[in-house]
Homo-oligomer: A and B are copies of this chain.
């Protein structure tokens, strides 16, 4: 489904603000394309539970070629969604990676067929805690079984089967998206021609689990959370979720970037006010981040998806050996990190590269110089764009994918 088709499906007089008033509907009947599965396509989760039925919401961009060889799966991060290169129906904002993905962009939708699906446990149309539990007619809430990164990837694989795509030309993603990329290469090595994990890690660190736990406790401490049953009560743990987002947001930035962007600058005032208003620009900025986030994200979904990241430990299934996870991998890897990223520091990416080298896999590695912290992967970072473009161009040549009309191979 292209960006234009999505726009057509939205009633033309329905503004983003009006849609936002009823974001809950996006969980069951998303603005994007959605596929429903059950029966022999029931989803057996890592927890041992079976989801039947379940659904997955996704967007596509570009055209699948005759060989079905030009498909790229883009995996989104913690609070991302399927709208990688088209406007988010709740916020009206451009796709979250439209700098990287689109016509003529490094992930060129004139050349490649790009698929991006909302993750399992998400809240924009793929089965998650905000979805209706078909067995009860109520929201799943905390009755939904916990999901893992591997479960998210399993769900995506079923979708690709359904779309008739046997092999992905590439899987690309940053942060939690990068975790999915790595999981794809391990779970389905024969289906992944190339893989681009950016600002990611093969396991979630103790410090990162700690930050996630703070966020979850902030949500659960909000009395409007109601044990996850806020929908039925007609309330919403907005304050708790905003605090969670504020704490997380600090970890997405870097100390130097904060210093450069905000320093100790005051917000619309000449002097400190000796009070608890947002005297400093950084406070005002964080509060805004917290408030806007609650408009577009489900609090229970935040619990589920952070937990999936915490549980991620790629080596755990291989006796703790990361190289064994990648043994005999036919995939070409391009691993990327950012110098100022302290949430997923370069050392984590290097551990992946080291394991890939130990497994004699095909891997290139680029550490991008940037002072923007973890968030850099979502921003205008020319070196990242050049690296993705160069890597995909080379891989496409090896894969025999035709260059775009008028473009160079």
| A residues lining the B interface (CB < 8 Å) | 46-47, 142, 145-146, 203-207, 209-211, 213-214, 216-218, 220-223, 239-240, 242-243, 246-247, 250, 253, 255, 258-259, 261-264, 272, 274-276, 278-280, 282-283, 286-287, 290, 303, 307, 310-311, 313, 342, 345
Q: Which residue of B lies closest to A275 (CB)?
A: B146
In the bound complex, residues from chain B placing their C-beta under 8 Å from that of A211 are: 247, 250
Q: Check if B255 sits within 8 Å of A209, measured CB to CB.
A: no
Assembled-state Cα–Cα distance A207/B283 (Å): 10
Q: Check if A290 sits within 8 Å of B259, measured CB to CB.
A: no
Assembled-state Cα–Cα distance A373/B211 (Å): 16
Assembled-state Cα–Cα distance A215/B261 (Å): 21
Q: Check if A283 sits within 8 Å of B209, measured CB to CB.
A: yes
Shortest A43–chain B CB gap in Å is 14
Q: Which residue of B lies closest to A283 (CB)?
A: B213
Q: Which of A46, A243, A342 has the most CB of B within 10 A?
A: A243
In the bound complex, residues from chain B placing their C-beta under 8 Å from that of A263 are: 206
Q: Check if A221 sits within 8 Å of B242, measured CB to CB.
A: yes
In the bound complex, residues from chain B placing their C-beta under 8 Å from that of A259 are: 205-207
Q: Check if B246 sits within 8 Å of A282, measured CB to CB.
A: no
Shortest A149–chain B CB gap in Å is 13
Q: Which residue of B lies closest to A313 (CB)?
A: B264
Q: Which residue of B lies closest to A273 (CB)?
A: B146
Assembled-state Cα–Cα distance A337/B255 (Å): 18
Q: Check if A246 sits within 8 Å of B283, measured CB to CB.
A: no
In the bound complex, residues from chain B placing their C-beta under 8 Å from that of A250 are: 207, 210-211, 214
With A223-B223, A282-B206: A242-B217 Cβ-Cβ less than 8 Å: yes
Identify 11 residue pairs between A and B in the complex whose beta-carbon atoms are under 8 Å apart, listed by A's number: A47-B274, A145-B274, A203-B264, A206-B280, A207-B259, A210-B283, A211-B250, A221-B240, A221-B243, A255-B345, A264-B313
